[in-house]
Amino acid sequence: MKIENNRIDELNHLELKAHRRKFDFVAEDIAALEDVMTKLAAFNVAIPSWALGTGGTRFGRFSGTGEPRSLEEKIEDVGIIHALNKSSNSISLHIPWDIPGDAANIKALASEHGLHFDAVNSNTFQDQKDQNLSYKFGSLHHVDKAVRKQAVEHNIEVIKYGDELGSKALSVWLADGSNFPGQLNFRHAFENTLESLREIYDALPADWKVWVEYKPYEPNFYSTTIGDWGQAYLLSTALGPKAQTLVDLGHHLQGANIEQIVSLLLMKDNLAGFHFNDSKYSDDDLTVGSINPYQLFLIFNELVEGMDSKGMDHATSIGWMIDASHNIKDPIEDLIQSVQAIKIAYSQALLVDKQALLTAQLNNDVVHAQEILQHAYRTDVRPLIAEASFRIGGALDPLKAYRSLGVRENLIRERGSRSVARGL
Ligand code: PSV
Ligand code: MN
Ligand code: MN
């Protein structure tokens, strides 16, 4: 199914008067209003192909209804999100969960929906049924060179798929680690990983990047070979300029100051991009902004400040992507909420008076510095986001539009209530 523009126009028309009132109220106090609107309109967040079906836990998976049954239907779902919010113009594939059979056709279908392909993700954290050697004891870090070679070859194959689709980055997340003290020689594991990543790096097309993702634990519970940003930084800088560190918000120990990590990675030109999600405990993969929206704002505050200091384009200089999948919400609704939450944090960060903040910092005026940040954070920027979306043909309220248009009901009619998406 495809959402026609005139359906969105009709719904917007009903909301327009109330929207104008709210927009004018907040807009009046924003000096650089048009700059904020332009930046918001240019901002897009990639949707992962694995988030379109209902996720699960190790205890069970409760399938939703009308789930996409194929890559084509996943593209259709992202097309729906993008038609509504005009901020989700790309899709990120996980191989082999979503192998593009006929790349030319898949690419053409995506572009019919106004979409392109973001980073491709390799998967050496599961054994596939036709695979010779097992990843039970890891992949790129494995003690056996033959297993490492198999994992390297898989990554090179993923690059080929991505190249055919027009992707420009390979995202590597490894489950490699150990469950018990003594199981691994940390140094050997790290050196093996570096050696394997070098082979993958050498296979990157000239205009590609490799994004190295870290995570402290799970599925291994004693050590993870790329466990934190220090380890990802060591690897990526040893590899070369095409390698950078990917920050997944759920991949930190409790209390970690993610905004500080982000600030320093950006300073060192080593920030590849983000996997957005939210969490209360760790890698919970909950809806972005559902638990700790202030942290998200503080991260964006560092991003905006750091990118501006280097003259980087906010929308295109790093990768913005959602990485979430859980088991109770309608995945499309969850993704719409997530993108809205990201845009809220981004626009609040754009509102921070950077000059005044710097002056407060130089004067050690702690109270005023906090006031400046919280003034921006406490501004209700939702009318700005609605206006930015409206100006480029999106819905004033994408979630409401999704429900009013009965999109899920239509998808159930087309796909059936028992359809199950492949993935996690
Ligand atoms: C691992 O927890 C992760 O965040 C990686 O990005 C994977 O590619 C993704 O989740 C999907 O399993
Ligand atoms: Mn991730
Ligand atoms: Mn994760």
Residue of 226, 248, 283, 325 to mutate, ligand 1, most atoms within 8 A of C-beta: 248
- CA-nearest residue, atom 9 of ligand 1: 323
Q: Is 14 helix (H, G, I), strand (E, B) or coil?
A: helix
The response to whether residue 285 sits with its C-beta less than 6 Å from ligand 1 reads: no
- Cis ω before 96 (30° cut-off from 0): yes
* Spans of the chain, pLDDT less than 70: 422-424
Flag whether 55 is in a domain.
yes
Measure Cα distances from 405 to 11, 202, 350, 400, 408 in Å. Answer: 9, 48, 32, 8, 9
| Alpha-helical regions (H) of 86-144 | 103-112
Pull the structure tokens for residue 144. 């056996």
Ligand 1 atom at shortest distance from the alpha carbon of 248: 4
Flag whether 421 is in a domain.
no
State residue 103 phi and psi, 5-degree precision. -55, -40
Q: Which ligand is nearest to the CA of 125?
A: 1
Look up the CATH number of the domain holding residue 155. 3.20.20.150
Flag whether 422 is in a domain.
no
The response to whether residue 215 sits with its C-beta less than 6 Å from ligand 1 reads: yes
Output the CA 58–ligand 1 centroid distance in Å: 15
The response to whether residue 98 sits with its C-beta less than 6 Å from ligand 1 reads: no
- CA-nearest residue, atom 10 of ligand 1: 323
Flag whether 242 is in a domain.
yes
The response to whether residue 86 sits with its C-beta less than 6 Å from ligand 1 reads: no
Measure Cα distances from 25 to 19, 76, 183, 378, 394 in Å. Answer: 10, 37, 61, 15, 21
Flag whether 388 is in a domain.
yes
ipTM: 0.99
Output the CA 120–ligand 1 centroid distance in Å: 12
Output the CA 213–ligand 1 centroid distance in Å: 9
The response to whether residue 323 sits with its C-beta less than 6 Å from ligand 1 reads: yes
Give the start-end residues of each E strand in 135-219: 169-173, 177-178, 209-213
Residue type, 241: P
| Alpha-helical regions (H) of 52-139 | 71-85, 103-112
Q: Which residues surround ligand 3, an ion (CB under 5 A)?
A: 250, 283
The response to whether residue 252 sits with its C-beta less than 6 Å from ligand 1 reads: no
Q: How many domains does the chain have?
A: 1
Output the CA 337–ligand 3 centroid distance in Å: 19
Output the CA 247–ligand 2 centroid distance in Å: 8
Pull the structure tokens for residue 71. 């890559």
Q: Is 90 helix (H, G, I), strand (E, B) or coil?
A: strand
The response to whether residue 19 sits with its C-beta less than 6 Å from ligand 1 reads: no
Q: Which ligand is nearest to the CA of 286?
A: 3
Single pTM value for the model: 0.97
Domain of residue 77 covers 5-415
Residue reference for tokens 């009901």: 409
Pull the structure tokens for residue 255. 């209390």
- Per-residue model confidence (pLDDT) at position 145: 98
DSSP-derived secondary structure letter, 315: T
- CB atoms near residue 312 (< 10 Å): 17
Flag whether 424 is in a domain.
no
The per-residue pLDDT for range 19-47, each reduced to its tens digit, is 999 999 999 999 999 999 999 999 999 99
The per-residue pLDDT for range 239-282, each reduced to its tens digit, is 999 999 999 999 999 999 999 999 999 999 999 999 999 999 99
Flag whether 339 is in a domain.
yes
**Total residues belonging to the chain:** 424
Flag whether 333 is in a domain.
yes
Output the CA 275–ligand 2 centroid distance in Å: 5
Long-range contacts of 257-260 (CB under 8 A, 24+ apart): 258/295, 258/299, 259/295, 259/298, 259/299, 259/301, 259/302, 260/302
- Per-residue model confidence (pLDDT) at position 423: 60
